Amino acid sequence: MKLWQRLRRPFSIRPRNLICGEILLLTLLILLLLGQNGGSPKAVLSFALRMASEKTATGSNAGSSSQKQDYIKWVDFNVSYEALNKAFRYDVDTCQAPVHLNWVNLLAYLGALYGGDFSKYSPKDLDAAAARLTGGEITMEELTKGMKYYPYYREAYGAVLDGMVGQFQAEIPKSEAPGAYLPSGVDGGTPEDPETIWVTKYGLKAFFPLAKGFPYTDYDDFGASRSYGYKRRHLGHDMMGQVGTPVIAVESGYVEAMGWNQYGGWRLGIRSLDKKRYYYYAHLRQNYPYQSDLKEGSLVQAGDVIGYLGRTGYSAAENTNNIETAHLHLGLELIFDESQKDSENEIWVDCYDLVQFLRLNQCETYKVEGTKEWERKYGTKETPGDPNPPAHE
């Protein structure tokens, strides 16, 4: 979408004289921020759109019963793999410490520090902030007090990441369980596999979208040109692999869409449990695209096998292989308001670095004899209502 198109949307209900005045003020704000904060044009544009949407929501319609709640209209998520990994390590390493560092808070602090431009990322900046926080020198609220846009980055980055790290239950082999987990009081396995037990863990709950051990290649292709049907930008991440590779649910959630789409072929849409993220898995295998027990409304757990990589799509005729190279198209849409879900105002984010980060948690699978399906070897479950969540900084 062109810059002028982004800028005009928030003002489409304004009279012409107000449009001109507000665009002029917005332009001056962008130039000022670029000069003072060193932010990238995209990042500053995100700030400007946030401010414009706030003004629209509280402007001439203020007090009206038809006034819509304010919400974020645009997000540029370009947090680097290195920053994701380091912030995650701080979170996990301090999960039982007096001061627990929340990785999203840390990344939002960096986002505000860099104006959203993570090409400026330095590990020293994160280390320095973490040292001050864990040492009790300062709280996160005090650290970010002078950062006008920290709340924006916290909400934006939280929409991407908040459901990915936390407490969960994991099925593991008894041979890998620490001794403290083996006495009575801990589940001793399942009828199918008595050699496993369920333990409570804290860490990365989200999974890499392809099963462990299956080859793939990828590169950052978000925003690349596409021409089938009409000229448009590629709003996802392509992972090239072998037909039949098990596709894994990144997060737990509910199946909102499944079936044929002429652009995505056989595809699945899964909504996260907090409803902030919509995962779109497309170009699934011809003839046998999905795990057999899936249907719209199904609850899937993070790490479940949900379908199989293929090359369907680019055809109005159902079940057609018109994609030249077999691959999984993974899309990640952010939803701050339900009106954004299926509209021209959808927010799709670049998840290339996020996918690289998710390689830390790959699902091991096995072939189900006599079928075309694969199953996960070890299960995971969400932990309902942690009664004693650690304090976050």
- pLDDT tens for residues 322-379? 999 999 999 999 999 999 998 888 999 999 999 999 999 999 999 999 999 999 999 9
State pTM to two decimals. Answer: 0.80
**311 inside domain:** yes
The answer on pLDDT for 32 being more than 70 is no
Residues 156 and 194 in one domain: no
DSSP state of 210: B
Question: Where in the sequence is the domain holding 47, given as residue range(s)?
Answer: 3-58
Last residue of a domain, one of 204, 235, 257: 204
Residue 392 — pLDDT band, cuts 50, 70, 90?
A: very low
C-alpha R_g of the chain: 23
Cα–Cα distance measured from residue 348 to residue 76, given in angstroms and rounded to the nearest whole number:
9
Residue 179 — pLDDT band, cuts 50, 70, 90?
A: low
**74 inside domain:** no
The SS3 assignment for 303 reads coil
> For position 167, what pLDDT does the model report?
94
Going by C-alpha positions, the residue among 245, 247, 241 that lies closest to residue 327 is: 241
- pLDDT tens for residues 234-260? 788 999 999 999 999 999 999 999 999
Residues 51 and 97 in one domain: no
Angle at 344 between CA 265 and CA 337, to 5 degrees: 100
> For position 205, what pLDDT does the model report?
96
Going by C-alpha positions, the residue among 239, 230, 223, 216 that lies closest to residue 349 is: 223
Residues 133 and 274 in one domain: no
Query: How many domains are there within the chain?
Result: 4
Residues 47 and 139 in one domain: no
**267 inside domain:** yes
Neighbours of 101 (CB within 10 A): 23
Q: Are 57 and 14 in contact (CB under 8 A)?
A: no
Cα–Cα distance measured from residue 337 to residue 57, given in angstroms and rounded to the nearest whole number:
13
